[in-house]
Chains A and B, each alone.
Chain A
């Protein structure tokens, strides 16, 4: 069964802190996505990766294929980073269909 698990479910941080959100998945994914969802509901794709590491501004995503694990890091967090962060995976057998984790509600306080 294709599964994605994410932790923590909720995360509160002070402005400036380094934040890590974790995601584990079952074997054989073709791609791992990190997504951001704001209260209005729309989802924005942050990263798509199948190996290694990607960086965009203060956001870093890593994936360890052997460990079946991915992390999203936010450096120098800011209140505007407050949102739900979701990891999602796709498998070769399911094409672009995504299986989502439950999401991490991040709140960054000033």
Chain B
């Protein structure tokens, strides 16, 4: 039990649709990072939010966007879904300056 909750756990979308994934971080953690993990590969960094501001972004197009709310929960939004967006999306929370990181169980997205 890491205290990081993600929803939904599984979902199927059609190419061209939009999706919103949600993450409730560990209590008090002000930093949330999102990762995409394709099958058989290691996770890839999408972006990070610190105190409601984007604080670093990986090599993902602008149709991947996010939000962090005052309670530090977070959303990942993906527009114009493509087949290659099918992956496990992981949320990780931490406290800025502290290296311990807690992961959620992930959201499995399938785009058909």
- A residues within 8 Å of B by Cβ? 6, 30-31, 33, 35, 40-45, 48, 50, 86, 88, 90, 94-103
Contacts and interface: CB of A to CB of B under 8 A. Distances in A.
B106 interface: yes
Given A90-B99, A98-B45, A42 B105 contact: yes
Q: What DSSP secondary structure best describes chain B's contact surface?
A: strand
Given A31-B99, A41-B88, A42-B104, A97 B42 contact: no
Interface in B78-112: 88, 90, 92, 94, 96, 98-106, 108
Given A100-B42, A102-B41, A95 B100 contact: no
B112 to A, nearest CB: 19
Interface of B: 2, 31, 33, 35, 37, 41-45, 48, 50, 55-56, 88, 90, 92, 94, 96, 98-106, 108
Given A40-B105, A41-B108, A44-B2, A95 B41 contact: no
Contacts, number: 74
B40 to A, nearest CB: 8
Given A41-B88, A41-B108, A42-B104, A97 B45 contact: yes
Given A48-B100, A86-B42, A96-B33, 11 more contacts: A31-B99, A35-B103, A45-B103, A94-B56, A95-B50, A95-B96, A97-B56, A101-B42, A102-B41, A103-B41, A103-B42
B96 A96 contact: yes
A99 B44 CA distance: 7
A95 B95 CA distance: 10
B102 A45 contact: yes
Nearest to A45: B101
Nearest to B58: A97
Nearest to B56: A97
B99 to A, nearest CB: 4
A45 to B, nearest CB: 6
A96 B105 CA distance: 19
